[in-house]
Structure 1
């Protein structure tokens, strides 16, 4: 496993701020991410933003097939030069925030494991990807900002609990793996980072629907308001009354105190 700084220097490239590139140089951390994927020779791992190929190499060592999704043409050039002869590696030049993960799974006839040191500027978009393509993803192991990890692990009624919590916990069990200081990266980011594992639930807590999205957005757009007042943004009073009565939820409570399951029940009743 070669230090990405040496790989970049060999090809005459440097990290790009425009792509939020912070290369992981801690070799033990790279190995721990690969181990956390639980990949083996039967697996297809999609690596989002493989960059200089450091984690890619560790993932290939598990015996898995690895599909790298990279939008930086310079990094794509590096990956082809460094890993082009590896039969279990293929490169998709696309944006990790929009790539069709379901199509990748379908083409290979297998569910996916997703891995990556995510560019922090597009973490939210990639988390939405994981929710959207949940049926094709058995597990994801990703590096995020420590603050994002805290939000995804949050419980109802806490300050960190919000819309991202609901959408991710709806379909995945969120597990902390380890944290990293800025010095583990080149260049060092300004925040601490954390690796999390998202394990797909056999039975989702909620199915993401337009009704659920609208309800969640209304609840968390005005955290200080009561649930009833928050819902007035999206439904008439009579609909709100009927939904609260049907679910037995107290309209004077704040919406962020509700579990994922209860929010889903409310959304279904509200838009029935």
Structure 2
């Protein structure tokens, strides 16, 4: 297990908190259960605490790291893996994960995600869900609560609905602040996201569903009648068997897909008439 090298301080602008608790590291590795021959991908390896264990089990790993000062540290530490340890110096938010595919093996993605980019990065990865077997992330507990949230709860919103559209969500266990250096001011948690082989509620247009959710949750305390008035009227909602007087967090994924498909139909008619 590596210690933090002298001279490298965790950087606030990268949201860095380095994992050092061996018990937590072992628990994470047991949850992931990496195997030789699998295509493992680590986002933000940092100082290599998880990387070391992932390589020991899988014998090969692709790493995506933005902090250029960490890359020589990682290359030195894992030099004996040669071409089985590839580092991509890039921003994971802008990276095309399809570039990692060298054969038909799906990607198994792991990451201790910086809190400041966790939500946009998850949305970015969901756009590559067809390439991915599963994802194991260390996230702020609050984000995991949102990912796993159910209708009618305060955590329920766009992030959870779209993640559940693409994936099965399994919160695994909590990680205390003391497991990191420096210690964050919040609790963390490990979550497993497993892309559905068959979408349970496929939408005609995922873009339309995203736009609908963005609009529906723009003002959480207002009703669907108010929030969606620019997209469809109360009569249309009623015709879809949805109460326009409900707040958005009361609707299920299936009901949002129903509205989205209705809007896609209107859009198609509009384009057909042009």
Using structure 1 for the length normalisation, give the TM-score: 0.91
Any idea what SS the aligned residue of 1:113 has?
strand
What is the CA distance between 1:64 and its match in structure 2? 4.7
Unaligned runs of 5+ in 2: 266-274
Unaligned runs of 5+ in 1: none
Q: Which residue of 2 aligns with 1:150?
A: 145
Q: Which residue of 2 aligns with 1:3?
A: 2
* Correspondence 1:61 to 2:41: no
What is the CA distance between 1:267 and its match in structure 2? 0.7
Q: Which residue of 2 aligns with 1:81?
A: 76
What is the CA distance between 1:65 and its match in structure 2? 2.4
* Correspondence 1:141 to 2:140: no
Q: Which residue of 1 aligns with 2:96?
A: 100
Alpha-carbon separation, structure 2, partners of 1:244 and 1:78:
60
Of 218, 227, 234, 2:224 maps to 227
What is the CA distance between 1:202 and its match in structure 2? 2.0
Give yes or no for contact 1:39–1:64 (8 Å, CA) kept in 2. Answer: no
Alpha-carbon separation, structure 1, partners of 2:110 and 2:37:
16
Which segments of structure 1 move beyond 6 Å, counting only runs of 4 or more?
none
Of 259, 268, 274, 1:266 maps to 259
* Correspondence 1:17 to 2:25: no
More displaced, 139-148 or 194-203? 194-203
Q: Which residue of 2 aligns with 1:201?
A: 196
What is the CA distance between 1:243 and its match in structure 2? 5.3
Q: In angstroms, what is the RMSD of aligned CA positions?
A: 1.6
Alpha-carbon separation, structure 2, partners of 1:113 and 1:257:
33
What is the CA distance between 1:236 and its match in structure 2? 4.7
Q: Would you say how many aligned residue pairs link Structure 1 and Structure 2?
A: 262
